[in-house]
Amino acid sequence: MKILDVLQPRTILPDLQSRDKKGVIEELVRPMADMANLKFEDLVRVLMERERLGSTGIGGGIGIPHGKLKNLENLLLGVGVSRKGVNFESMDGRPTHIFFLLITPESETGLHLKLLARISRILKNEQFKENLMHVTDKDEIYRIIKEEDESF
């Protein structure tokens, strides 16, 4: 499964304004909730419950908040970039700048893990991360992700 099989341009936020974990999650969830006709509060709750188990801030400026939702029909993926960085309680204690937010149907554990692995793999490319940090347009972010996604 490729990232672009799931990612919709309207769920790309090139300039996150929130300064804390919950705010970033809420900001990333809003277009997903509208697009999938889901309750905003339900999506935020699932993601914050997952964060209580341990931060999804993996370090290196990366956060991959994720969760599973009962009765969800399709995977949802959002991408956001915070120029200033956010305290996301990352493993390395440093600010988080790049976010990939994933919500999957509760019954799709395999797809959930495959997409998380793919996202993690492309985020190991330092040039890819650098490129994401320097563009301010959602179409450019989509293009950068597409180029990286197609190279695997």
Q: 80 is written with which tokens?
A: 């956001």
66 labelled catalytic: yes
77, 112, 73, 8 alpha-carbon torsion, rounded to 10°: 20
| Relative orientation angle of helices 109-122 and 138-150, to the nearest 10 degrees | 100
In the Cβ-directed half-sphere of 4, how many Cα atoms lie within 13 Å?
13
Q: What does DSSP say about strands 96-105 and 76-86: parallel, antiparallel, or unpaired?
A: antiparallel
Active-site residue identified among 66, 97, 112, 134 = 66
Active-site annotation, residues:
66
